[in-house]
Structure 1
Amino acid sequence: MTHARTPSGFASAIVSAYHMRGMNPQEALDAAGLALGELHPDSRITADQLERLSNHAMRELDDEALGWFSRRLPWGSYGMLCRASLPSATLGIAIARWCRHHNLIAQDVELSLKADRHLAEVRIEEKRDLGILREFCLVSLLRNLQGVASWLGDTRIPLIDVEFPFAAPAHAESYRYLFDGPASFRAELTTLRFDAAYLALPVLRDDAALRQMLRRPLPLMVRQYRRDRLLSREILRLLGDMPAASADELAEKLNLSTRSLHRHIKQEGTSFQALKDLSRRRLAERLLASTPWPIKRIARECGFDAEASFVRAFKSWSGQTPRAYAVNARQGRSVHAKA
């Protein structure tokens, strides 16, 4: 059974878009199985009802933006944005393209992507008063972008948080279902935040998949992908506790076949050996910089049977021997302490 968790205020916003155009929303309401008298501020509708209402309204109004902007976005506009983002090597490039091209077709808002090593942010700056459709517009823009990005990467992108510049609405509790993450209000800008590691994931969809998706694109706004493709992050966490673990051992812990483990991390643009090397290097650098242990013991802690093998591996990672790295690291710490 589908839960009625979507604020009916979003349906009311679509009705308002009809009234702004001097049109009758009755056919759209009938298509969604809704009655105008049922749309109270504290009532809820199902995601399916909003999808059917939106789909009918977009076609009847010939506006995929449903009245948000000063100019219509004719049917197919968001499909065009998807097509422009599709030939991207990574999700970071695809999201940046989405924002850039959206700014070309709808100048009432400006979307941008900002990122550092750890955090990615999509921001929306309002260039004009969006009026009574403001909440529906800003929520829909973020939901649409998150849905498209998740579809392009075939992954669930969990959000760190979302912020909105308006006061908390009466249905604020619904936002945890809309975004599956914490939401706050009265912020400076509309902002969606997530782990920047997702930006490096490859785009997995092709033109055939796009044509299939565009037959029914609206569920992207409500679909919750079940799988987070950042399996490599979980593997790194496990390797931190089990530096000598094999792919077979980790696959068993993750309830995957070894073949599936290798396939998934290959899709993320890496390999088990590369992840193991990265984990060992991080551990080795930490131990060399912070402990007086002999190289032989550090090699063993990092999962190496022989000191010579560890020395060769570390030199290939960092360009210097473990002993030289330890000396430089301790000297640097000493200079920093004196300063």
Structure 2
Amino acid sequence: MKIITPSSAELTLGRAATPIAFIRAIVLGYRARGMDPARALQQAQIPPQALDDPQARVTAAQMEVMSGIAMQELDDEALGWFSRRLPWGSYGMLCRASLTSPTLEVALKRWCRHHRLLTDDLTLEFSQQRNMATIRIAEARDFGDMREFCLVSILRYLLGYVSWLIDSRIALSETSLPFAAPPHADAYPYLFPGPLRFDADAASFAFDARYLSLPLRRDERALQTMLQRALPLTVLQYRRDRLLVHSVSQILNTSPGFAHTAEDVAAQLNLSVRTLHRQLKEEGISLQRLKNEARRERAIKLLLQTRKPVKQVAAAVGFDSEKSFSRAFREWTGVPPGQFREGASGV
């Protein structure tokens, strides 16, 4: 597979926020294999003396180049963390194994289960309690000086990948890390937005379980493109949050005949009306369109699954008259409700 990397001019552009500690961890992987990291450092434009400066930072592009070259030179996508190498394409295999999942929940369960095929040095555990979903890492060996980089990378890559799968930000309720806050702890909010807890029992992150029912929005072609530059997933922050559209749709579908106002919907989501409209606009959709979709789906269900007269169907989905309902239904489907029902029954 051809790997697309940032150009030399792009390497030092942007904010240098990645701690040099993560670069040092990659260098440890080289040294553990008796190899020289000089070429990777040179290509990433990272001066060797920066490795000894605990305050030094590199850009995301420099990190991407350093990691990409190291993975190929070491023939190890785990960069030396595990007791055996993960050959090039290992994590791509995990991506493909979860890509056809119907929902985020199934994708996460597949990822955690299939990760055990790669290594026994740690396991990824998925759990759901009440309204919270959690991904937890159970360590089975001492990772030494590579521990921080290993745990952070695994959690952040999985978070980036599943966010990419549903094309949405996933708001974290908490991220827990089983080590003391490092000198570069100020970099962590960029990797894991939301509450952070150090000195925890295990590495984990938790989020609202409602995300689990969201459908995946990517296909094989999109995956091929993403894998050419997979590392940016570890720093990419999505602006949109598709859970909002999902939540609004659930409210509307619960009672499609009710005249939901923006104030009513916003109150149920603990948002201001202004924020509701703004976030829906960012998703390229409006509250009225979601209302129409809920009415349409309910109307189609009633027409196909019951013998209710069209007038009663119209009232059930919130229309004052059969005439206005028929006009709207024709706009939705291209045919009036009576003809739609007859056509379906004749199939």
Name the counterpart of 2:70.
57
Opposite residue 260 of structure 2, the aligned amino acid is A
How far the C-alpha of 1:261 sits from its partner, in A, is 3.7
In the alignment, structure 1 segments of 5+ residues that lack a partner are 277-302, 307-339
2:178 & 2:121 partners in 1: Cα distance? 16
Q: Residues 8, 274 of structure 1: CA spacing in aligned structure 2 closer, same or farther, 3 A cutoff?
A: farther
1:263 & 1:153 partners in 2: Cα distance? 23
The answer to whether structure 1 residue 232 and structure 2 residue 255 are counterparts is: no
Q: Residues 74, 144 of structure 1: CA spacing in aligned structure 2 closer, same or farther, 3 A cutoff?
A: same
TM-score, structure 2 normalization = 0.72
Name the counterpart of 1:38.
50
Question: Which of the residues 254, 274, 285 maps onto 1:260?
Answer: 285
Name the counterpart of 2:194.
181
Q: Residues 259, 171 of structure 1: CA spacing in aligned structure 2 closer, same or farther, 3 A cutoff?
A: closer
1:61 & 1:259 partners in 2: Cα distance? 44
Q: Is the Cα contact below 8 Å between 1:109 and 1:126 reproduced in 2?
A: yes
Opposite residue 80 of structure 1, the aligned amino acid is M
Name the counterpart of 1:18.
30
Greater shift, 73-82 or 174-183, is seen at 174-183
> Secondary structure of the equivalent of 2:116?
helix
Pairing of 1:280-295 with structure 2 (within 5 A): none
> Secondary structure of the equivalent of 1:92?
helix
1:117 & 1:155 partners in 2: Cα distance? 22
- Aligned-pair RMSD on alpha carbons? 3.3
Name the counterpart of 1:113.
126
Q: Is the Cα contact below 8 Å between 1:147 and 1:222 reproduced in 2?
A: yes
The answer to whether structure 1 residue 223 and structure 2 residue 225 are counterparts is: no
Identity %: 50
> Secondary structure of the equivalent of 1:214?
helix
In the alignment, structure 2 segments of 5+ residues that lack a partner are 1-12, 253-257, 266-272, 299-316, 321-347
Cα deviation per residue 1:251-272 (whole Å; 9 max; x = unaligned)? 9961457983489969xxx953
Name the counterpart of 2:328.
none
TM-score, structure 1 normalization = 0.73
1:122 & 1:113 partners in 2: Cα distance? 5
The answer to whether structure 1 residue 7 and structure 2 residue 29 are counterparts is: no
1:82 & 1:64 partners in 2: Cα distance? 14
Opposite residue 272 of structure 1, the aligned amino acid is A
The answer to whether structure 1 residue 69 and structure 2 residue 82 are counterparts is: yes
Q: Is the Cα contact below 8 Å between 1:109 and 1:124 reproduced in 2?
A: yes
How far the C-alpha of 1:128 sits from its partner, in A, is 0.5
1:87 & 1:146 partners in 2: Cα distance? 18
2:260 & 2:221 partners in 1: Cα distance? 39
Cα deviation per residue 1:302-335 (whole Å; 9 max; x = unaligned)? x9899xxxxxxxxxxxxxxxxxxxxxxxxxxxxx
Q: Is the Cα contact below 8 Å between 1:262 and 1:271 reproduced in 2?
A: no
Tell me which stretches of 4 or more aligned residues in structure 1 moved more than 6 Å.
236-239, 249-252, 262-266, 303-306
How far the C-alpha of 1:29 sits from its partner, in A, is 0.4
1:154 & 1:264 partners in 2: Cα distance? 20
Question: Which of the residues 153, 158, 181 maps onto 1:140?
Answer: 153
Cα deviation per residue 1:100-119 (whole Å; 9 max; x = unaligned)? 11112111001011012310
Opposite residue 37 of structure 2, the aligned amino acid is P
Q: Residues 118, 28 of structure 1: CA spacing in aligned structure 2 closer, same or farther, 3 A cutoff?
A: same
Q: Is the Cα contact below 8 Å between 1:118 and 1:197 reproduced in 2?
A: yes
1:116 & 1:148 partners in 2: Cα distance? 23
1:305 & 1:216 partners in 2: Cα distance? 50
2:155 & 2:58 partners in 1: Cα distance? 20
The answer to whether structure 1 residue 123 and structure 2 residue 136 are counterparts is: yes
The answer to whether structure 1 residue 29 and structure 2 residue 51 are counterparts is: no
> Secondary structure of the equivalent of 1:27?
helix
Greater shift, 203-212 or 14-23, is seen at 203-212
Q: Is the Cα contact below 8 Å between 1:91 and 1:199 reproduced in 2?
A: yes
Name the counterpart of 1:245.
260
The answer to whether structure 1 residue 191 and structure 2 residue 214 are counterparts is: no
Opposite residue 234 of structure 2, the aligned amino acid is M
Q: Is the Cα contact below 8 Å between 1:109 and 1:127 reproduced in 2?
A: yes
Question: Which of the residues 244, 249, 272 maps onto 2:294?
Answer: 272
Greater shift, 162-171 or 224-233, is seen at 224-233
Q: Is the Cα contact below 8 Å between 2:104 and 2:215 reproduced in 1?
A: yes
Q: Is the Cα contact below 8 Å between 1:229 and 1:264 reproduced in 2?
A: no
Q: Is the Cα contact below 8 Å between 2:277 and 2:287 reproduced in 1?
A: no
1:135 & 1:168 partners in 2: Cα distance? 10
2:31 & 2:97 partners in 1: Cα distance? 33
2:14 & 2:96 partners in 1: Cα distance? 31
